[in-house]
Amino acid sequence: MKTKSEVCITIPLSKVRKIVTEATRVIRRTLCRVLKEGENVKNGVGMAISTPRKLILKVCTKNILDNLDEAVLKRIVHNFYLTEKQRPTLRAIHS
């Protein structure tokens, strides 16, 4: 009986890309892009194979208001508009 190392598996060259896309679960066009980029690196046209940047989610701390703070802010702006009869600005509200 032959062991796995003794068994020679032959893959027809016309089906290599199809088998690779099925095995890696990558779209065929993506495989072609990676191969093209690898050829560019080998030929000296490109520096290295690039990967997409990771998205960095930033939390904006300036706009975080809970319902109570939002209601207080609305009341301050509304009262300022009624009492001062002018457009509320931060400087005017602070003074």
> Helix (H, G, I), strand (E, B), or coil: what is residue 60?
coil
What is the radius of gyration, based on Cα positions, of the chain? 32
Residue 2 has pLDDT above 70, yes or no: no
Residue 5 has pLDDT above 70, yes or no: no
Distance CA 89, CA 82 (A): 14
Rounded to two decimals, what is the model's pTM?
0.39
Distance CA 47, CA 61 (A): 39
Domain extents in the chain: 13-43, 60-95
Tokens matching residue 51? 């990967």
pLDDT (0 to 100) of residue 46: 73
* Tens of pLDDT, residues 8-62: 777 787 788 888 888 888 898 988 888 888 888 888 877 776 677 788 888 777 7
End-to-end Cα spacing for the chain? 93
Residue 85 has pLDDT above 80, yes or no: yes
